[in-house]
Amino acid sequence: MSVTRLNTDGSQRAFREAQEVLVEGVSSPSRGTVNFGEYPIFLVRGEGAYVEDVDQNRYVDLMMAYGALLLGHSHPAVVQAIHRASAEGTLFAAASPVESRVAHLIQSRVKAAERVRFANTGTEATMAALRLARGLTGRSRFIKFEGHYHGWYDDYLVSAHPHPYSDLGLVSDPIAIPESSGLPPSALQQAVLVPWNDLDRLEDALKRYRHEISCVITEPVMANMGVIPPEPGYLRALEKLCHQYGVLFILDETVTGFRLAPGGAAERYGLMPDLLTYGKGLGAGLPVAAIAGKREYMDGLRWGGVLHYGTQNASHIGMSVAEANLSALKPGVYEVLENMGERLENGLTTLFEAHGVSGWVQRVGGMLQVFFGNQAPIRDYRDFCRYASRARFSQFALAMIHHGVYLSPSYSLHSVLSAQHGAAEIDRVLEVVDYVLGLQEGGHQ
Ligand SMILES: Cc1ncc(COP(=O)(O)O)c(C=O)c1O
């Protein structure tokens, strides 16, 4: 199949109209011009590994709703569950048997999930987990790693996006950079910032602040600075340090949960976190999230303890989809993610060499990011801010989109495979990469 530049006039028109009613024409700023350039592509349909836009262009999808769709778009088991559950009643806001079934499915995959509480988004889950850790310990500060994103709750919105390296301060005393207007001043004082993948700095902070700190929260793989894997043994050692210094260990599996292994990163890296948070891949496109963990801690959410409410929690439709989703996530899915991830990584590496491009891939299973620059690998936030070329990535990603591969154009996010990405899809992606790199060598887009 040849590669051509798509006509996306319909998206351009739709964007003009959307701006008359929606702030920036979108419902989350990352979907707008900050990442997509002149106008975003307006999608109307998804099937397997593909999405279609308003102009009826078909794209291989490497964004997969930011990782929510492990089974791909419109998987028959998910569609069926939505039909059945919506006919039964979308929401009861009452106790229902399907919640226990989903909690059992989580428990059967995640050893540390002795108790589960459902929520709707990753942000809600991480917010509740922090409140729980604070309630249990009576301490309000927490350790957050530079460059980790845990949702848009005030206290987490510190040094979560890339910034010029010169703004970061010393590694021994990072400057807390607010990511939003409207944060109360106290929010900036809650997080003790520590560089990730650095056990010595973590232990220093634990020694210094142990009596003020409720928990350490971490992404298991840095997934909001491209893809940065943990150093071998790092997460196990982090868990040990948390126990040694008497603070709770929260593993934020919003991105990695049920993706990196049936039991997520906890299984892949052999961890027994005190608390875990889930979102994205749990609900297969429906807003379903969860806080899980050891019973002695999770029981802090009982009535009279730490408050966590939600009319939409464990909706009938969301739970029914989560049940169908988890039941369909069989071991074969993880083989596909690993094998296709490897095929894509190898193909990209070969093409970068062939085109003389100074780029590389960082990957864990079916999540990967392409980096452009001269300092491989990127090991932490500071490397990312200093060495990853945003302009080059954006130029590459937008050209890919306009030639039929839909991927996140934000360089701090990453590409995501699903169970529906087979050799044909990967090879098509590589064909488009080959074409786009060729174009860019010639100075066109
Ligand atoms: C690691 C991590 N935690 C939490 C969140 C917040 O999840 P949500 O967007 O569902 O609120 C995200 C979102 O990307 C995330 O990447």
Q: Are residues 257 and 268 in the same domain?
A: yes
Domain assignment present for 32: yes
**121/35 same-domain check:** no
Residue at which a domain ends, from 328, 353, 371:
328
3-state secondary structure of 377: coil
What is the band of 443 on the pLDDT scale with cuts at 50, 70, 90?
low
Domain that holds residue 128: 76-328
Residue 177 and residue 52 share a domain: no
**CA-wise closest residue to 82 among 387, 223, 371, 287:** 287
- Structure confidence at residue 222 (pLDDT): 98
Q: Is the CB of 279 under 6 A from ligand 1?
A: yes
Mean pLDDT of 312-323: 98
289, 342: one domain: no
- Determine whether the shortest distance from the Cβ of 256 to ligand 1 is under 6 A: no
Mutate to test the pocket of ligand 1, among 121, 123, 179 (most ligand atoms within 8 A of CB): 123
What is the percent of the chain with per-residue pLDDT over 70, rounded to a whole number?
Answer: 99
67: closest CA among 122, 117, 110? 122
Domain containing 275 — which CATH number? 3.40.640.10
Q: What is the DSSP string of 290-325?
A: EEEE-HHHHGGGSTTSS----TTTT-HHHHHHHHHH
- The whole-chain average pLDDT of the chain stands at 96
Read off the pLDDT of each residue in 422-445 and give the average, rounded to a whole number: 88
42 touches ligand 1 (CB under 6 Å) = no
Cβ within 8 Å of residue 347, ≥6 positions away:
426, 427, 429, 430, 433
**Ligand 1 atom at shortest distance from the alpha carbon of 289:** 10
Nearest atom (ligand 1) to Cα of 279: 10
Residue 445 pLDDT exceeds 90: no
List the Cα angle 54/56/59 in 5-degree steps: 100
* 440: confidence class by pLDDT, cuts 50, 70, 90: confident
Distance (Å, whole) CA 368 – CA 54: 28
In a domain, 228, yes or no: yes
For residue 323, tell me if it sits in a domain. yes
Instruction: Give the H/E segment covering residue 216.
Output: strand 213-218
Residues 120-144 pLDDT 10s: 999 999 999 999 999 999 999 999 9
Cβ–ligand 1 contact at 219 (below 6 Å): yes
* Res. 441: pLDDT tops 90: no
Residue 66 lies in a domain: yes
Query: If you measure from the C-alpha of residue 44 to the centroid of ligand 1, how many angstroms do you get, rounded to a whole number?
Result: 24
* Ligand 1 proximity of 253 Cβ (cutoff 6 Å): no
Cα separation, 192 vs 185, whole angstroms: 14
Q: Give 280 Cα–ligand 1 centroid separation in angstroms.
A: 8
The answer to whether residue 24 sits within a structural domain is yes
> Which helix H or strand E contains 134, and what residues bound it?
helix 122-137
Query: Full-prediction pTM beyond 0.85?
Result: yes
Residue 356 has pLDDT above 80, yes or no: yes
pLDDT at 442: 62
Domain boundary among 328, 344, 370: 328
Same domain, 312 and 368: no
Q: Which of 328, 348, 368 is the last residue of a domain?
A: 328
In a domain, 1, yes or no: no
User: What's the distance, Cα to Cα, between the start and end of the chain in Å?
Assistant: 19
Q: Which atom of ligand 1 is nearest to the CA of 124?
A: 11
Q: Among all chains, which residue has been given the structure tokens 């459902």?
A: 118
What's the average model confidence in pLDDT over 368-381? 95
* Whether residue 149 has its Cβ less than 6 Å from ligand 1: yes
Residue 3 lies in a domain: no
Of 126-135, 139-148, 244-253, 386-395, minimum mean pLDDT range: 386-395
| Residues annotated as catalytic (active site), given as ranges | 149, 252, 280
Q: Do 353 and 213 share a domain, yes or no?
A: no
The predicted-structure confidence for 173-189, as pLDDT tens digits, reads as follows 999 999 999 999 999 99
Q: Are residues 245 and 386 in the same domain?
A: no
Residue type, position 170, single letter: L
Residue 50 has pLDDT above 60, yes or no: yes
